[in-house]
Structure 1
Amino acid sequence: MGLVVSEGGPSAGGGAQRNRYVDLLRVCAIGVVVLGHWLLVDITYRAGHLSGRDALQYLGWARWLTLVMQVMPVFFVVGGYANAVSWTAHRRRQGVWTDWVRGRMLRLLWPTTVYVVVGVLVLAVARVAGVESHDLDRGGWLVALQLWFLPVYLLLIALTPLMLAAHRRWGLAVPVVMAVVAAGVDAAVLGPRLPLIGFANYLLVWGAMHQWGFAWQDGTLTRPRWRCGALAVTGAVVLIAVLAWGLFPIDMIGTGARMGNTSPPSIALLAFAAVQTGLLLAAEPILARVFASPSRWRLVSRLNRTVMIVYLWHMVPVIIVAVALYPTGVMPQPTIGSVAWMVTRMIWVALLVLVLVPLTAVLMWAHRPLRLLPEGLGAAGWWSPILVLCGLAAMVPALARLAISGFAPDGHLPGLVLVIYACGLLAAFCSGRPPSQDRSPATPPSRTAG
């Protein structure tokens, strides 16, 4: 039995039950994401230039660690759970697709917009101050790479009503079909070398995990509990098979391989996610009891409120500490993989924590006005879903481009991309104010998930 607590008030959707294990998984996952990014970025300062390297490309043995460090599937599974709860409650109140999608999107996009604006302004000032294009390019990319999650997740939000209806009709057959199609996409990429087809797997692979969240929420995947084990075993068999055949690398985090597992996501990543999801859901009754204590739950609840901010801003301390300590020679630059490098990793993480904690506290305070923003502007009408779709069509590629190229590609601000993003945000916001505010929390990784 999951650990649940009644969510009173309007956000609860009329007595909905909140599964605390969802929040626990989200908090633990964001901790692993932050720690992984911090440990794997190796900063160098040579010939007057700061640069960052992916340590995994130099540590062959560490690639097995990606089996522990890859936790993005958790966000999509948790996101599916939260979206199923939220959409069901919204429909119970006779709500429509436009209001729900707009509300869920904006709760993610307002803090994202703040982050993008601040990032662009800082880089613009740095450019005026004479910072070289190479440094602007690398720094702008480093603090924008985590935005990749948002375009995928926004599309899954928009598709939730359709995909949840499919789940209620066909159950676990839906993610099975998505997995088979994803395998076909991989075959097309590996065989005829059709790389553009691979982009379909962003929705197929991550979307299959989102479907597992639906199945978790209504008990399809957890009642009886042995189904979690069956999911894990099936995933393990598929994963071992594709790795043994040499079709995909062991790395579950991108390391620059020609055929990786994340860009685009592969069937190997989906199989890995099946193992991870099955084990985590099988452990739910045990971990739920561990965190049944009110004091432990309060800690998880407080941390859960910071998830979106931490996800967006956790690479900023990397820039701050790197600029402060590497050019001055305070931070040593030992060879990657050496004992000295291992020791400096611990010091490095400690310094980043010292920066992130107060930064998060300040940002939590600064973001309070965002809670007062309405979930739409203007009168709703037949045009409302069109505006929401236009907003999605603009923001999804704009966010994807920012994640790929950063905030300052080649040292120049991406003006056109930013204008497209702003127009998309404005279109979604002006699609009409809902008759009643749906205050159920959105998902990321945001205060809710995924």
Structure 2
Amino acid sequence: MSRDRYVDFLRAWAIVLVVLGHWLITALVREPGGRITAPELLATVDWTQWLTLVFQIMPLFFLAGGHAAGGSWPRHRAAGGTAAGWLGRRALRLLLPTGLYSGLVLLAVAVCSAADVDAGTLSLVGWAMAMQFWFLPVYLLLSALTPPMHAAHLRWGGRVPVVMGVVALAVDVLVVAVHTPYVGLLNYVLVWGVAYQLGFCWRDGLLTRRRPVPALMAAGGAVAFAALVGLGPFPVSLILVTGQHPGNTDPPSAAMLAWVVTQVGLCLLAAPAVRRLLDRERVWRVVRPVGATSMTLYLWHMLPVLVVAAAFYLTGLAPEPALGSAAWWGLRIPWLLVLGVVLAGVVSALRPLERGLTALYERTGPDADLRHAWQLWLGLALDVAALARFAVRGFAPDGRLPVLPAVGLVLGTALVMLARRTAAHRPERPTTARATGRA
């Protein structure tokens, strides 16, 4: 099957909005003593929480991921491959650039800690550099669950995401009404898993076979979201705001589930027009490079904020109008432009390292079965735990180097690579015909 340009566009579009959204709501203030703080725009200027309806675009990541997995996993299985073989190669696409990024950030944290950088500042910077990491363990878990999820899709079709959504609503009742601890963690897999599962349905035509379905999804999800926000206990913000309880992202709530359905419906409605636009080579030449560097942009997009903070805020050169004022919003335009230029330089500087990672990835071999699959599963467990810890506490909790998650990430990624290299270097097993001398 030819590659769907629209799916690649969704990844690129989502990346652009994630980057712009994070940059837009990031506010920096230089205190009289020279210390830089980052007041929370969404908590300070309440109306900005409505902006998250535009910038909360993560459902598209999981939808596109499910669409892609719904093609690659059946092809791998049809060729005789196993779940471990498919997952190992897929996981490395995330783990290698993530490991490089994490290693460089942790090295910087170690240097700054040894230089007695203020613990509060280091903790804030470490959190900013890891704020996007929540996506990675969730996506790895959904990738690991792809074989049974796809098998369920083949048997029950569109009923699977419906059932997952109902279970997610039950979990949210326990979280909001009963305050059951830890059960909400299930919704990271259930709510985002609905978008992932809908990717299977989209690929197989279940969501587009009947013309009203996308419109019903968009309208129904929007009405449910409005009811849950207007009449229910949920805030409008689709990004975590300090002090809000319940929130919509930590864990994903019923309102977030409604927004997933809304966004998928809107995505399907827009598909025909956008596909016609993407058929123009001039447009595609703009979109394709963004998609090709999506992981780099996702991981590194907060580094320009630190560069600009050091260059303009620590030196006192940046004007600092009142947060949320007309002058402050006016300065968002040069702010975004400067950050974009810095990020372009970062991406350019990282190209040699990315080429090295690509070569390393290719040396792990083609999609093959694994002799010691336990290495893969243990490695992924360590990676998921380490990435989740970074997502929650950042790269410098309390201004200190997080040794255990750092070791876990290194060991986990090494085990995944070792499992892949074991498969790649395994001697080819002779077929029965070769072994017996028959042609």
Range class of TM-score, shorter chain: over 0.9
Query: Which residue is equivalent to 1:227?
Result: 213
Q: Deviations over 1:24-43 (max 9, x none)?
A: 11111111100010010111
Distance 1:226 1:364, change over 3 A: farther
- Where 2:27 maps in the other structure, the secondary structure is strand
Higher helix content, 1 or 2:
2
Out of 291, 308, 327, the residue aligned to residue 295 of structure 2 is: 308
Q: Is the 8 A contact 2:221 2:262 kept in 1?
A: yes
Coordinate RMSD, CA, aligned: 1.7
Q: Deviations over 1:236-280 (max 9, x none)?
A: 232122123232111111112121000110111010111111011
Task: Report the Cα distance in structure 2 between the residues aligned to 1:409 and 1:115, rounded to whole angstroms.
Answer: 18
Query: Which residue is equivalent to 1:360?
Result: 347
Task: Report the Cα distance in structure 2 between the residues aligned to 1:420 and 1:411, rounded to whole angstroms.
Answer: 19
Q: Deviations over 1:385-414 (max 9, x none)?
A: 222111121111110111111111111100
Query: Which residue is equivalent to 1:326?
Result: 313
Q: Is the 8 A contact 2:62 2:195 kept in 1?
A: yes
Task: Report the Cα distance in structure 2 between the residues aligned to 1:352 and 1:51, rounded to whole angstroms.
Answer: 18
Task: Report the Cα distance in structure 1 between the residues aligned to 2:354 and 2:82, rounded to whole angstroms.
Answer: 28
2:27 corresponds to 1:42: yes
2:279 corresponds to 1:292: yes
Q: Deviations over 1:159-195 (max 9, x none)?
A: 1111011011111111111111111111111112113
Task: Report the Cα distance in structure 2 between the residues aligned to 1:375 and 1:179, rounded to whole angstroms.
Answer: 40
Task: Report the Cα distance in structure 1 between the residues aligned to 2:135 and 2:273, rounded to whole angstroms.
Answer: 30
Task: Report the Cα distance in structure 1 between the residues aligned to 2:260 and 2:369, rounded to whole angstroms.
Answer: 41
Query: Which residue is equivalent to 1:33?
Result: 18
Query: Which residue is equivalent to 1:407?
Result: 395
Counterparts of 1:348-387 in structure 2 under 5 Å? 348-373=335-360, 374=362, 376=364, 384-387=372-375
Q: Deviations over 1:78-130 (max 9, x none)?
A: 11001111112212322111111000000110000000001011121222223
Query: Which residue is equivalent to 1:66?
Result: 52
Query: Which residue is equivalent to 1:81?
Result: 67
Q: Is the 8 A contact 1:225 1:282 kept in 2?
A: no
- Fraction of identical pairs, as percent: 44
Q: Is the 8 A contact 2:84 2:369 kept in 1?
A: no
Q: Which amino acid in 2 is paired with 1:174?
A: V
Task: Report the Cα distance in structure 2 between the residues aligned to 1:364 and 1:173, rounded to whole angstroms.
Answer: 44
Query: Which residue is equivalent to 2:429?
Result: none
Mean CA deviation greater in 275-284 or 419-428: 419-428
- Where 1:53 maps in the other structure, the secondary structure is coil
Task: Report the Cα distance in structure 2 between the residues aligned to 1:360 and 1:428, rounded to whole angstroms.
Answer: 26
Q: Is the 8 A contact 1:102 1:376 kept in 2?
A: no
Distance 1:50 1:370, change over 3 A: same
Q: Is the 8 A contact 2:214 2:269 kept in 1?
A: yes
TM-superposed CA distance for 1:383, in Å, is 5.6
Query: Which residue is equivalent to 1:156?
Result: 142
2:239 corresponds to 1:277: no
Q: Is the 8 A contact 2:27 2:41 kept in 1?
A: yes
Task: Report the Cα distance in structure 2 between the residues aligned to 1:264 and 1:375, rounded to whole angstroms.
Answer: 38
Superposition TM-score, scaled by structure 1 size: 0.90
Query: Which residue is equivalent to 2:437?
Result: none
Q: Which amino acid in 2 is paired with 1:264?
A: P
Task: Report the Cα distance in structure 1 between the residues aligned to 2:153 and 2:219, rounded to whole angstroms.
Answer: 22
Distance 1:320 1:19, change over 3 A: same
TM-superposed CA distance for 1:435, in Å, is 5.3
Query: Which residue is equivalent to 1:195?
Result: 181
2:416 corresponds to 1:428: yes
Task: Report the Cα distance in structure 1 between the residues aligned to 2:381 and 2:114, rounded to whole angstroms.
Answer: 33
Query: Which residue is equivalent to 1:241?
Result: 227
Task: Report the Cα distance in structure 1 between the residues aligned to 2:329 and 2:87, rounded to whole angstroms.
Answer: 45
Q: Which amino acid in 1 is paired with 2:321?
A: P
Out of 104, 110, 117, the residue aligned to residue 90 of structure 2 is: 104
TM-superposed CA distance for 1:224, in Å, is 2.4
TM-superposed CA distance for 1:140, in Å, is 0.7
Task: Report the Cα distance in structure 1 between the residues aligned to 2:13 and 2:222, rounded to whole angstroms.
Answer: 23
Counterparts of 1:176-195 in structure 2 under 5 Å? 176-195=162-181
Query: Which residue is equivalent to 2:431?
Result: none
Q: Is the 8 A contact 1:233 1:275 kept in 2?
A: yes
Unmatched runs of 5 consecutive residues or more in structure 1: 1-15, 438-450
Q: Which amino acid in 2 is paired with 1:263?
A: D
TM-superposed CA distance for 1:384, in Å, is 2.4
Task: Report the Cα distance in structure 2 between the residues aligned to 1:431 and 1:228, rounded to whole angstroms.
Answer: 42
- Where 1:22 maps in the other structure, the secondary structure is helix
The number of residue pairs the alignment matches comes to 420
Q: Is the 8 A contact 2:82 2:369 kept in 1?
A: no
Task: Report the Cα distance in structure 1 between the residues aligned to 2:425 and 2:267, rounded to whole angstroms.
Answer: 36
TM-superposed CA distance for 1:376, in Å, is 4.1
Task: Report the Cα distance in structure 2 between the residues aligned to 1:314 and 1:134, rounded to whole angstroms.
Answer: 22
Task: Report the Cα distance in structure 1 between the residues aligned to 2:165 and 2:118, rounded to whole angstroms.
Answer: 45
Distance 1:43 1:313, change over 3 A: same
Task: Report the Cα distance in structure 1 between the residues aligned to 2:425 and 2:79, rounded to whole angstroms.
Answer: 10
Q: Deviations over 1:120-148 (max 9, x none)?
A: 11121222223111111110110111111
Unmatched runs of 5 consecutive residues or more in structure 2: 427-439
Q: Is the 8 A contact 2:85 2:370 kept in 1?
A: no
TM-superposed CA distance for 1:432, in Å, is 4.0
Superposition TM-score, scaled by structure 2 size: 0.92
